[in-house]
């Protein structure tokens, strides 16, 4: 193992391994593909794409890292891409996100999930609110955000930011997923398409 590989962020490799352990047919894409542009502004970097090869409305996952600074911790976002025909008009944009209410700020246990949305996302937010599995997913893994996209990519993005660690590491911590949670992510994708 080279020194470069020793200090390389292995978040994508770790998540790929977690997916294969629960029998998700997926592969690591070569670096530099167009899909890396999904939610990748200039001040962040894509760690690469995981392509989903199985029958799933989720076609790929883009993992984005914000390297942080002195007063700004490192952060990682996982973008699950759900291709679909969406409106080309900005006024039809849909956004729904979870707010995790804790028993004690920052370090407390998550006691409930509240859903916020823009006007167009209200119906979807109501569906999420009533679904025990979707609420449980956000409680267990981290904040969720669903958005409709219409420019470089037509479809939906399910953004997941895993529970953050107070200690900054090279790779993202607290990455875990089981078959039930993968099924719930696919349920969210299907609700978006429907």
Residue spans per domain, the chain: 3-193
Residue ranges in the chain assigned as alpha helix (H): 3-6, 11-21, 122-130, 132-141, 179-193
CB 44 within 8 A of CB 66: yes
For 15, the token pair is 């998540």
For position 123, what pLDDT does the model report? 95
* Segment (H or E) for 80: strand 75-83
For 178, the token pair is 């089981």
Number of H helices, E strands in the chain: 5, 8
Which residue is it, tokens 């949305």?
117
For position 154, what pLDDT does the model report? 86
For position 110, what pLDDT does the model report? 81
Three-class SS state of 73: coil
For position 22, what pLDDT does the model report? 97
* Angle (deg, nearest 10), helices 122-130 and 179-193: 150
pLDDT averaged per 10 residues, the chain (length 194): 72 95 96 81 84 95 85 86 83 91 70 93 96 94 91 87 72 87 97 91
For position 173, what pLDDT does the model report? 76
Q: What is the pTM of this model?
A: 0.89
For position 29, what pLDDT does the model report? 94
Label residue 71 exposed, middle or buried (CB < 10 Å: 0-12, 13-18, 19+): exposed
């Amino acid at each position: 193992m080279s020194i470069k590989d020793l200090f390389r962020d292995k978040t994508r490799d770790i998540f790929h391994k977690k997916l294969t352990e629960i029998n998700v047919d997926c592969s690591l894409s070569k670096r530099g593909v167009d899909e890396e542009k999904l939610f990748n502004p200039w001040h962040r970097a894509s760690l690469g794409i995981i392509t989903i090869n199985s029958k799933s409305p989720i076609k790929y996952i883009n993992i984005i890292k914000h390297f942080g600074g002195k007063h700004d911790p490192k952060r990682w976002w996982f973008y699950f891409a759900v291709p679909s025909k969406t409106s080309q008009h900005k006024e039809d944009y849909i956004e729904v996100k979870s707010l995790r209410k804790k028993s004690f700020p920052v370090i407390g246990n998550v006691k409930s999930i509240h859903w916020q949305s823009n006007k167009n996302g209200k119906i979807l937010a109501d569906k999420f609110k009533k679904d025990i599995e979707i609420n449980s997913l956000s409680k267990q893994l981290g904040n969720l955000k669903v958005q409709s996209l219409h420019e470089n990519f037509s479809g939906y993005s399910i953004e997941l930011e895993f529970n953050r660690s107070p200690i900054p590491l090279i790779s993202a911590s607290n990455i875990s997923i089981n078959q039930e949670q993968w099924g719930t992510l696919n349920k969210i994708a299907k609700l978006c398409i429907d």
